[in-house]
Structure 1
Amino acid sequence: MEPTKQTLLVGGLLVDVYSHPTSSSSSTDPIHALFFLHGRFESAQEKHLVDTVKVLFDESYGSGWGERKKDLIVVAFDHRNHGMRLVDQKRNFAWSSDPAENNDQHAVDMYTIQTGTAEDVSFLIDHLPSFLYRSGERTIVEWGMGGTSLGGHSTWIALSREPRLTLGIPIIGCPDYTKLISRRAQASGIPFSPPYFPTSFKTYIETYDPAQLPYRAKDASNPFLGKKVLVLSGKEDKLVPWVASAEFVEGLEVGEGGY
């Protein structure tokens, strides 16, 4: 059986909400919601994203779609400037020696999409229940987020900013933007300075990026405390090298309630 999908328009944002085909509309059981986001150049309609959603339901409801472990919904939407929200495809490109594919603003463009996605997730946590359960018949008791590549980067940022997210699955994502993008700039022969890296942009990164927050702290100053995080990265990945994430992930403190 395939997951059931409904598409909602939430404040102008098209959102796909997947549920298990055996989930009863009359049930009042609590709901666990997981955002799952696609990668760069992709959309919420990618086949492998939909396949991943099916696997998530297999795990949540047991093999063979048997006994339910949790009543789950999976939420997907297009990143800004992707899919139905595409404005200029070239602004999704990186630095390149080919003028037709070169995007001088790559560093700023990619990060603003990531932070924009984090804001979209908080916006949907605020308002999605009003569209799904208009009579208050069900309650979402847990919010999580996962994503691949661009979606993985966005997951780290959202985890660091949205306290209602208690679970994160960053796949091929990096929590330290300075390490990631400076290496990419060096490999492309791009100076780590204006106009490629505006001063205001570097100041923003140095203030708000996950790697700049007290992620090692064992008190409430650490936004990751109590959260469950599954980090999946490729050892041989050249585009998102593990070395850019290693210091953060190995030093990350989630406390006794986290994992």
Structure 2
Amino acid sequence: MKLFEHDQTKFSKNEYFIGGIKTYVYNTDALPAYIESHHLSETNVDEMAINVLYLLHQRGGDFKYTEAIAYNILAQYYAKKPESNDVPLLCVTFDLRNHGERLLDEAKNLDWRKGNPTHALDMISGIMGNVADLKLIMDFLPSYLNLEGLLSREFRQKNQHWHFKYRNILSGYSLGAHTVFRFVNEHPEHIVAINPVVGCIDLSSLLINRLKQNAIDSTDYDKKWFYYTYDELDLNSEEKEQYPEHLHNYLKAEDESIFENFPMQDVKIFASFGAVDKLVPAKLSSVWCDTYLNTNDSAEIFTQEDTGHDVTPEMIDNFTTWLVKNI
């Protein structure tokens, strides 16, 4: 995935060290004037919300990829939003586990084809670690921002039970998109919208097809492997070493929950896929996406023709158009 061109001069960037994780927050400069104008008005105080977009990078990447996208999203968002909408948008990035400055073993980010026999274990445990890290940052970022410190004593006395409304949005790319689905499955009450890009809701099928090297046009590739017992996978001894039974049982429960119980009515979605993506084929999520479209009126699925496993300018442009309209 390429590093997008971006202008770092238009929006502020602050670094916070949250629970041992360097966390970068963009556009905090927009907050003081917004808060001052709202908290002085008794008529719109309940509308004082903050939109926070968390961006999660791909396997093998780092926060610099999502930082470049963040600057593009911010520029497009403010160019497209109506003047009547003065709610600020913040973007948040950080290095995922075993990536960027947190890299410990680069080999653990490789797949089976590139010689990593524990690819499945490393990827899934990393994703769930990312879920925990994201929850930690989401819980403590408001404390580091300390927006309550911008409120007057008079306001605090009149509104003792009032609090800022953080409308959290998740945007993830490839590995980051896998993480988005798992995070919402674990913590749906914290998210208002998601933007998964070239991700997969069914990691059981993704990994088993990858392990068994099933052809994408085969009947085996169309199976929902999370509905199968471990014995029904019909793995040989080497494959069993690479895909242990305990992992299958753990992952199948996660995937079944996402497939059947995802909070589609409560969480808005704009998802993007590449029509010719061979690494994470869109067909693995197609039935689920169709269900989303029939469940949530705000849902949009963008599948870009002649595009593989990549993030494109069109995907970002379409997402920001959707974001202005729906958030």
TM-score relative to the length of structure 1: 0.84
Q: How far is the alpha carbon of 1:50 from its aligned partner?
A: 2.7
> Is residue 5–residue 17 contact of structure 1 (8 Å, CA) maintained in 2?
yes
Report the Cα distance in structure 1 between the residues aligned to 2:178 and 2:31, rounded to whole angstroms: 34
Instruction: Give the corresponding residue for 2:146.
Output: 133
Question: CA distance change for structure 1 residues 196 and 72 in 2, over 3 Å: closer, same or farther?
Answer: same
Deviates further, 171-180 or 138-147: 138-147
Instruction: Give the corresponding residue for 1:178.
Output: 204
Report the Cα distance in structure 1 between the residues aligned to 2:294 and 2:15, rounded to whole angstroms: 35
> Is residue 131–residue 182 contact of structure 2 (8 Å, CA) maintained in 1?
yes
Question: CA distance change for structure 1 residues 16 and 254 in 2, over 3 Å: closer, same or farther?
Answer: farther
Instruction: Give the corresponding residue for 1:17.
Output: 25
Instruction: Give the corresponding residue for 1:113.
Output: 126
Report the Cα distance in structure 1 between the residues aligned to 2:298 and 2:82, rounded to whole angstroms: 29
Secondary structure of the 2:247 match is: helix
Report the Cα distance in structure 1 between the residues aligned to 2:148 and 2:266, rounded to whole angstroms: 31
Instruction: Give the corresponding residue for 1:213.
Output: 257
1:5-38, Cα deviation, whole Å (9 max, x unpaired): 10100111110101165x1424324211010011
Q: How far is the alpha carbon of 1:55 from its aligned partner?
A: 2.3
Secondary structure of the 2:272 match is: coil
Report the Cα distance in structure 1 between the residues aligned to 2:32 and 2:86, rounded to whole angstroms: 17
Secondary structure of the 1:113 match is: helix
More helix by share: 2
Instruction: Give the corresponding residue for 1:3.
Output: 11
Instruction: Give the corresponding residue for 1:202.
Output: 248
2:284 aligned with 1:244: yes
Larger Rg: 2
Structure 1: runs of 5 or more not aligned? none
Structure 2: runs of 5 or more not aligned? 1-8, 36-47, 151-162, 216-234, 300-327
> Is residue 142–residue 165 contact of structure 1 (8 Å, CA) maintained in 2?
yes
Report the Cα distance in structure 2 between the residues aligned to 1:202 and 1:60, rounded to whole angstroms: 41
Secondary structure of the 1:27 match is: helix
> 1:44-193 to 2 correspondence within 5 Å?
44-46=63-65, 49-63=66-80, 69-96=86-113, 101-133=114-146, 135=148, 137=150, 139-163=164-188, 164-187=190-213, 193=239
Secondary structure of the 2:98 match is: coil
Deviates further, 174-183 or 157-166: 157-166
Report the Cα distance in structure 2 between the residues aligned to 1:18 and 1:115, rounded to whole angstroms: 25
Work out the percentage of aligned pairs sharing the same amino acid: 25
Q: How far is the alpha carbon of 1:194 from its aligned partner?
A: 2.3
Instruction: Give the corresponding residue for 2:49.
Output: 30
Report the Cα distance in structure 1 between the residues aligned to 2:108 and 2:138, rounded to whole angstroms: 28
Aligned length: 246
> Is residue 273–residue 282 contact of structure 2 (8 Å, CA) maintained in 1?
yes
Question: CA distance change for structure 1 residues 67 and 83 in 2, over 3 Å: closer, same or farther?
Answer: farther
Matched residue type, 2:252 = E
Report the Cα distance in structure 1 between the residues aligned to 2:50 and 2:81, rounded to whole angstroms: 21
> Is residue 225–residue 253 contact of structure 1 (8 Å, CA) maintained in 2?
no
Q: How far is the alpha carbon of 1:244 from its aligned partner?
A: 1.5
Report the Cα distance in structure 2 between the residues aligned to 1:112 and 1:89, rounded to whole angstroms: 15
> Is residue 131–residue 179 contact of structure 2 (8 Å, CA) maintained in 1?
yes
TM-score relative to the length of structure 2: 0.68
Matched residue type, 1:170 = P
Secondary structure of the 2:201 match is: coil
Report the Cα distance in structure 1 between the residues aligned to 2:147 and 2:166, rounded to whole angstroms: 16
Question: CA distance change for structure 1 residues 66 and 203 in 2, over 3 Å: closer, same or farther?
Answer: same
Report the Cα distance in structure 1 between the residues aligned to 2:24 and 2:273, rounded to whole angstroms: 26
Report the Cα distance in structure 1 between the residues aligned to 2:294 and 2:149, rounded to whole angstroms: 33
Q: How far is the alpha carbon of 1:155 from its aligned partner?
A: 1.1
Instruction: Indicate the RMSD between aligned Cα atoms, in angstroms.
Output: 2.8
Report the Cα distance in structure 1 between the residues aligned to 2:88 and 2:119, rounded to whole angstroms: 40
Q: How far is the alpha carbon of 1:235 from its aligned partner?
A: 0.6
